[in-house]
Homo-oligomer: A and B are copies of this chain.
Amino acid sequence: MSNLEQMRAELQELNLQLLDLMNQRAALSKAIGEVKRKQGTNKFDPEFERHMLNQIAEHNHGPFEDSTVQHLFKQIFKACLDLQQDSSKKLLLVSRKKKAEDTVVQIGDVKVGVAGHPLMIAGPCSVESLEQVREVAKALKEQGIGVLRGGAFKPRTSPYDFQGLGVEGLEILRQVGDEFGLKVISEIVNPSDIEMATKYVDVIQIGARNMQNFELLKAAGRVNTPVLLKRGLSATIEEFIYAAEYILSNGNTNVMLCERGIRTYEKATRNTLDISAVPILKQETHLPVFVDVTHSTGRRDLLLPTARAAVAIGADGVMVEVHPDPETALSDAKQQLSIPQFNEFMSELRATKLSQI
């Protein structure tokens, strides 16, 4: 055995001793967690942790520097704490590790999240009038689409922009939904409106600007109505997942996620569609994942290609905005499809064949 081989054998022996000690420490730490749970005290005790770190530095004689061993011990402390805590990430309610099978959300008789059966949700950016919503509903019905979207409370950058019809908008949606046999979805922005909204809508939408409006998330978690949660303008995927967890941890498990583009330096599109977020969210969570092709691109000419990409990558649904006369729309005029455009969009999307590579 060469010198190097012998040293390596010793190294492996040290590894196994380290492993054994780590697991002893883990077991002891778990037991301490049990004691604390019974006492009702906080599992994380920063004072004791600091005490241990100080002690470790005092006893450290290298060759590792103090900062290195402290870093390594912090990793060990953290792993032990994770063992103690039910609240660790691997146990998030939204996590695939917690629940392996796909969550199927029921919007009345419409099922969302069944593999191989993506759902289209369409409708105008803003509810402007009964007539407008009816025209769109008729087009959806003819396309065999079961869920109608429409904004009643519109979060707008400027206080002087059209702020939506409010409750009147919800009433219009409900009336048209009932008339055409469609389920309806609309954004709610005030925690105190959630309860009221459940009387009108089949799905509560929480918009990008409110993804970390935690009071709104908690309120949406306390009802049973399905929630479609949009990713924040510059939210990380991790933050997005935690935002969904706010809803589930308050009791409502009917949650759908929606990628809608993120803010980047690129200005060719309104936002940058982060298409990779779809498979990541499908891996990390058991929730259905939508792609809003309208807001992610902000360009009518990109709706069809991005919808194709969304379906191909495994999205459970696509959202798109349709308006009887987009040019005169009170919001987002440039990115909504007219009804003939929408019909063409649907037929081209449905006719798509994947090229062989």
Contact = CB atoms under 8 A, between A and B. Distances in A.
Given A215-B189, A297-B276, A23 B64 contact: yes
A120 interface: yes
Contact of A272 (B50, B155, B264): B264
Interface stretch (A105-113, A172-180, A234-242): A234-242
A40 interface: no
A82 B63 CA distance: 12
Contact of A357 (B242, B311, B355): B311
Contacts of A245: 158-159
Contact of A11 (B32, B83, B246, B352): B32
A161 to B, nearest CB: 9
A341 interface: no
A54 to B, nearest CB: 10
Interface residues of A, number: 131
A227 interface: no
A318 B31 CA distance: 46
Contact of A212 (B209, B263, B278, B280): B209
A222 interface: no
A147 to B, nearest CB: 12
Contact of A26 (B31, B64, B71, B159): B64
A313 B305 contact: yes
Nearest to A269: B276
Nearest to A14: B25
Contact of A76 (B18, B52, B79, B265): B18
B302 A306 contact: no
A32 B18 contact: no
A276 B302 contact: yes
Contacts of A263: 234, 265
A158 B242 contact: yes
A21 interface: yes
Nearest to A90: B65
A277 B333 CA distance: 22
A222 B15 CA distance: 44
In this complex, which of A27, A79, A190 has the most chain B Cβ atoms within 10 angstroms of its Cβ? A190
A350 B354 CA distance: 9
B159 A246 contact: yes
A52 B305 CA distance: 32
Interface string A83-110: 1010100000000000000000000000
A34 to B, nearest CB: 10
Interface string A294-336: 0011000110011111111110011000000001110001000
A25 to B, nearest CB: 5
In this complex, which of A3, A82, A214, A301 has the most chain B Cβ atoms within 10 angstroms of its Cβ? A214
Given A118-B357, A272-B274, A279-B302, 4 more contacts: A30-B63, A47-B328, A264-B264, A308-B354
Interface of A: 3-4, 7-8, 10-12, 14-19, 21-32, 35-36, 39, 46-48, 50, 52, 55-56, 59-64, 68-69, 71-73, 75-76, 79, 82-83, 85, 87, 116-120, 155-160, 189-192, 209-210, 212-215, 233-234, 236-239, 242, 245-246, 249-250, 262-269, 272-280, 283, 296-297, 301-302, 305-314, 317-318, 327-329, 333, 349-350, 352-357
